[in-house]
Every structure is written in structure tokens, then in C-alpha cells.
Amino acid sequence: MSNNERDQYWKLSLLSIIVVMGVILFREITPFLGGLLGALTIYILVRRQMNYLADRRGWRRSLAAVAITSEAILCFLVPLGLVVWLLVNTITNINLDPQAIIAPIEQTVNLLEKKTGYDVMSTDTVSFLISLLPKIGQFLMNSISSLSINLFVLVIVLYFLLMGGRKMERYIGEILPFNAINTREVLFEIYHIVQSNAIGIPLLAVIQGLIATIGYWIFDAPNLLLAGVLTCFATIIPMVGTALVWVPIAIYKMVMGSWFDAIGLLLYGGLVVAQLDNLIRFILQKKMADTHPLITIFGVVIGLSLFGFMGVIFGPLLLALFLLFVDMFKREYLDGRK
């Protein structure tokens, strides 16, 4: 075996070991993927602040990292904790008194039966739904436990990213298989798409939640706070979005005989909430990163299945990078062909 063949053998062997070990490690670390991606997202948002404190203000990196991590906890994790507390409190009430949830459903079904003569829901079906509530509550509580673990991972990983961020960035730049210009283009795309989605999506969710809550208050929707929070989360779902919340509420009000509130909420949701959603989303995308709406829509659909909740940020990023790599290949290898 020649030296060249031996080098090729060792190179392929080492690459195979790296790929196999990488797949194994990725599978094992998947439960903590949300915390890792969340830490990376926050790091991209605060890296300039970290460099400012460490370089221009002369802070020790450890002190600056502790300060920025504390800021992230107050600005990101505390509000998220309040939302989780609201959901836990609601789940607890449901488990303690499931009949409080079933009773309005039974009342609605009875009204439908009187008006249509069709028995929509039998007694056995109601009993089955009651038996499902504890299982749904257990699933949600398990999800909340997983979220708590990922938040702890996020805080720890964020601190170490802030401490060694520059070395990490230089290392990534060295191993990327691109020239200097393409490397800067890839890093620029990553920074701006993550920044756009990490700031724009929560901002859009809060604005939409507040606007929808005003409508819920005007038209006497039940449980204003919970409906507003659910509307915030519904904004991340492409195409249908907030309609997943205000349409069922309007139907419920209609069945209950509150036609004025039902029609008013449908008009408010269709003319105000939905249209403002399109307008605000368009303005934020153009202002923060000029990303095509289709990339955002399909990116969110892909990302939610791959990364869970963090897919709303990294799904569009993955799709945008794929298109960027295709464009690089075209410029580097196809445009120069004779």
C-alpha cells in the first residue's frame, strides 16, 4: 500500500468514525435539542452585547456572561414561565373538575340535537371524553417537565457559548467547505434569519394576542386570558393561524344563542385580526430580513416536525440555507461552464 493510498484509507476511516459517532450522539441528545437551539438563538441575539461589554467596557468575560445570561432569564424565560404557570393552573383545574369542561359541550350538543334532531354525542362518548382528560393532562404535564429540563440546558449552554463564542465562530468558519466570501455570506444569512424570526415571531405573537384579546373582551368570550395566550401560540401555525382560536369561540357563542357576539367576533377576527396578521408579518419580514413569505411558511411546516417549537426559527433558516447552497453551486460550478 502506497503512502497516498494509506492517507486515503485513514482519511475515510476517520470520516466514517466521525459520521457514526455523530449520528449516535445526535440521537441521544435529541431530547435536549430545544434547549441547545434556544441557547444558540439567544447567543446570536446577544453576541454583539457580549463583545461590547468584554472589549469596549473591559468587563471580564465571566462577569459579562453572567450578566447577559441573567438578562436572558428575565427577558425570555420569566415570561415563558408565567405562560407555563397559566397552562399548569388550567390543567390542574381541568383534572380536578373535568365536568366543568364537559358541561358546556353537553349543553352545546343538546342545543344542536333540539335544532337538528341529530344525536351528535351519546352518553358513552361523553364518558370516553371524560376519561381522556386525565391522559391529556398527563401528556401536557410531561411536556412541561421536558420544557423545564430544556430551559435548564438552555441557561447552562448559553453561559458557555458566551464564554467561548469567538473561538466557536472561528472554528466553524474554518471547517465550512466554502471560500472566504461564501463563508461570510452563509454566516450573514444565519445571523439575519435567526434574528428576524427570534424577534419577529414572538413580537407578532404578542401583538396578535393583544389585538385578539380586545375582541374577546368586546364580544364576551369565555376565559379571556387563556384564549389570548392560545392565540399567541396559534400565530406560528401557517395559513390558519389565529383562526384556530377565534373561529371555535365564535361557533360556541353562536350555538349558545349569542348571535351578536358570534357574528361580531367572526367579523373582528376576519377583518381585524387576520388582516393585521398579514400586514404586521409582511412589515416585520421586510424590516428585519427580506425573506420570501413562502420560505417562512414552508420552513415553519418543516421545522415544527424536525425541531419542535424551535422549528419556527430554524425551519425557515434550514430552507433558506438550502436555497443559498443551491445558488452557490450554480455560481461556482454551473455559471462558469463553457
Per-residue pLDDT of the chain in tens (338 residues, 90 and over written 9): 667 777 787 888 888 998 899 889 888 888 888 888 888 888 888 888 888 888 888 888 888 888 989 988 888 777 777 776 766 666 565 554 555 555 555 666 666 566 555 555 555 555 555 565 566 556 666 666 777 788 888 889 889 988 887 888 888 777 777 777 777 877 777 787 777 777 777 788 888 888 888 888 888 887 777 788 888 878 777 677 788 888 888 887 877 778 888 888 888 888 888 777 767 766 766 666 566 667 777 777 787 777 776 677 777 778 888 888 888 778 777 765 54
Q: For residue 139, how many other CB atoms are within 10 A of its CB?
A: 11
- How far apart CA 203 and CA 169 sit, in angstroms, is 28
Provide the residue ranges of all domains of the chain, joining segments of one domain with +.
30-175, 179-338
Give the per-residue pLDDT at 338: 44
Within its chain, how far is the Cα of 183 from the centroid? Answer: 27
Alpha-carbon distances, residue 251 vs 113, 139, 257, 271 (angstroms):
16, 27, 10, 17
- Find, among 293, 317, 313, the residue nearest to 304 by Cα: 313
Q: Which long-range contacts (CB under 8 A, 24 or more apart) does 76-85 make?
A: 76/42, 77/151, 77/154, 77/155, 80/151, 83/229, 84/144, 84/147
- C-alpha cell read off for 8: 486515503
Q: How many CA atoms lie within 13 A of 298 on its CB side?
A: 9
Report DSSP state, residue 57: S
Cβ–Cβ < 8 Å for 248, 218: no
Residues 6+ apart with CB under 8 A from 35: 149, 150, 151, 152, 153, 154, 157
Q: What is the pLDDT of residue 56?
A: 84
Q: Is the full-model pTM beyond 0.75?
A: no
